[in-house]
Amino acid sequence: MKDIKHFLRQNSLRPTKQRVIIANYLFDGINKHVTAETLSNKLLKMKAGISLATIYNTLHDFYEKGLLKKLMINSERIYFDTNTEHHHHFYSKNDQKLIDINVDMKVSGLPKPPKNKKINKIEVLVHLDN
């Protein structure tokens, strides 16, 4: 796709074959949460012969350009989120699945941060049963 190439160039990323394929999938307008593994599986199904190393490289390249958000939900794998706006998540441990919470939420009763520290951002993770 032309616009994906343009999009990559705009973000100082050479539109290589692999990056175009991955970007096309990730930025198709539907927000996604992927890990290197889930992305690899998806690409295998699409018969895009992209090596695991490139998948890792590309996710990190995109992350460094601010095209992806990194989520640290559990310590087993790193999730990348195509929704880079500040938002929160439902997390179902059972399904290993994340769901965006796109509504505004307020946290009240927050204590002062420790001396010399400033609050950067507040992350709310809503764990789901079942």
Partner DNA sequence: TCAATACATTAGAATCGTTCTAAACTGATA
Partner DNA sequence: TATCAGTTTAGAACGATTCTAATGTATTGA
**Comparison of 48 and 101: residue with beta carbon closer to a copy of itself:** 101
Q: Hey, how many other C-beta atoms are within 10 angstroms of the C-beta on 82?
A: 19
The distance from CA 23 to its chain's CA centroid, rounded to whole angstroms, is: 12
By CB under 7 A, residue 127 contacts DNA: no
Told to check if 51 binds DNA by CB under 7 A, we report yes
Asked if residue 57 lies in contact with residue 43, where contact means CB atoms within 8 angstroms, the answer is no
Q: Which helix (H) or strand (E) element contains residue 98?
A: strand 97-101
Q: Which two tokens stand for residue 69?
A: 């958000």
Smallest distance from a copy of itself to CB 30, Å: 17
Q: Name the segment binding DNA (CB under 7 A); options: 24-32, 46-54, 90-98, 107-115.
A: 46-54
Contact 19, 61 (CB under 8 A): yes
* Residue 9 interacts with which of DNA, a copy of itself, none, CB < 5 to 8 Å by class: DNA
- What are the residues binding a copy of itself (CB under 8 A)? 72-78, 90, 92, 99, 101, 103-111, 113-114, 116-130
